[in-house]
Amino acid sequence: MTQIQTLLIIGFVWPEPNSSAAGGRMLQLITQFQQQGYAITFASPAMDSDFMVDLAPLNVKKESIALNCSSFDTFVKELNPAVVLFDRFMIEEQFGWRVAENCPDALRVLDTEDLHCLRLARQKAFKEHRNFTITDTLKEEVAKREIASILRCDLSLMISEFEMELLKTTFKIDDKLLYYLPFLLEPISEKTFEKLPSFEERNDFIFIGNFLHEPNWNAVQYLKETIWPLLRKQLPDANLHVYGAYPSQKVLQLHQPKEGFHIKGRAIDANEVVQNARIVLAPLRFGAGIKGKLIEAMQCGTPSITTTIGAESMQGNLPWNGFVTDDVTEFTNSAMQLYQDKKVWILAQQNGISIINERYSKEQFENDFASKIQILRSNLPQHRLDNFFGALLQHHTLTSTKYMSRWIEAKNSKKD
């Protein structure tokens, strides 16, 4: 009888698929590993949240773990996972050395979500009113930590082709350590398409995004102060509905119904509100990764207008689901045209469906991903031997982080 292999996922937070694209991405990965026959345990040091998904119906075991505590060593040794998936590099920093020490034969996989050093370097360049260059990522302090984490892991899952190329060319990361795995979606069938609301059945503009994410807050400010006044002047009866989880007081204060600018907060059903909107506006001025809000727009048959950063790595060689521009006037004129011209709108909608079906259909990736994991597990000693810098970093990190963590643990025990 074949022994069931265990996958341990260590989460930065508990998955909230209705709050962020990262939550949805995590559920997609859970499904992939379950299809490969893994029993899954999801552990996190995060507090429970009101909006976290219930893992029990998904046949995923939930475990709370503590930072800087040797109780994790006992837990992971008893679990003895075949594969450990770290949710973002900060989690690998905290727990990677403990996994390496207690379960040396476990395959260590990092899900990057997006490149933090890229996002933060772009954000810094924007706030300093200068043009971003790729070399800015090298100067970003977090890059040293993030790249070290990628090197220590056996494989890093990348959601963006642009970011994969950046890692290979700018940071000289070996291609064998990286694997392109974007959102894994169900293709949009003709039957699903026919159920979508028509052009005439839809009204108004929408923005949607988690407000704990700085690029989203900045985009809403940009809409309120610059884009929406221009658009409202041309379409005086139009409304913009802004949805997003965790809105702060400064977000709520932007609510101006008389100006057609409505702050709605968390959407109970994101699909419903996006399907009922005619256009998604996403003027993102910095960021990284693949934008969940724009994928969601395509799935809902809702054309979008975004920036080059918003659309980065999303469409391949296919035409966009609307318009892509960094110019304010073009952005506004494109929004007005898309809102009023049914032919242009329908073409944009069809473009979005083509992008989903041709670039994100999970059937394209499932078998290859399963094969990649299996091959790596079968050849792990040689794979690690080929990754000398990873072994070097693992050696020094294990030593330095281990003693820092032990010191914190001892300090905490004295308080108790």
What are the residue boundaries of the structural domains of the chain, listed by start?
6-184+365-415, 190-361
Distance between CA atoms of residues 327 and 150, nearest Å: 36
Structure confidence at residue 330 (pLDDT): 97
Buried b (16+ CB within 10 A) or exposed e, 165-175: ebbeebbebee
Residue 372's contacts (CB-CB under 8 Å, 6 or more residues apart) are 155, 179
Which pair of tokens denotes residue 305? Answer: 């207008």
CATH classification number, 190-361, choose in 3.60.20.30, 3.40.190.290, 3.40.50.2000, 3.30.750.24: 3.40.50.2000
Total-model pTM: 0.93
Q: Are 279 and 205 in contact (CB under 8 A)?
A: yes
- pLDDT tier at 393, thresholds 50, 70, 90: confident
| Alpha carbon separation from 325 to 197, 281, 320, 329, 334 (Å, rounded) | 26, 11, 11, 9, 9
When the pLDDT of each residue in the chain is averaged and rounded to a whole number, the result is: 94
What is the third-level CATH fold of 6-184+365-415?
Rossmann fold (3.40.50)
Strands 6-10, 83-87: pairing kind: parallel
Taking only the tens place, the pLDDT of each residue in 140-170 is 999 999 999 999 999 999 999 999 999 999 9
- DSSP category for residue 175: G
Which pair of tokens denotes residue 61? Answer: 């075991």
Of 110, 97, 13, nearest in space to 53 by CA: 13
Domains 6-184+365-415 and 190-361 share a fold: yes
Structure confidence at residue 166 (pLDDT): 97
Taking only the tens place, the pLDDT of each residue in 231-255 is 999 999 999 999 999 999 999 999 9
Q: What are phi and psi of 14, to 5 degrees?
A: -75, 140
Q: Is 221 strand, coil or helix?
A: helix
> Residue 191, CB half-sphere, CA atoms under 13 Å: how many?
2
- Residue percentage of the chain with pLDDT more than 70: 94
Contacts 24+ apart (CB under 8 A), 391-394: 393/148, 393/151, 393/152, 394/97, 394/100, 394/152
Strands 205-208, 240-243: pairing kind: parallel
- pLDDT tier at 1, thresholds 50, 70, 90: very low
Taking only the tens place, the pLDDT of each residue in 16-39 is 998 888 899 999 999 999 999 999
- pLDDT tier at 391, thresholds 50, 70, 90: confident
Distance between CA atoms of residues 216 and 109, nearest Å: 28
Q: Are 57 and 36 in contact (CB under 8 A)?
A: no
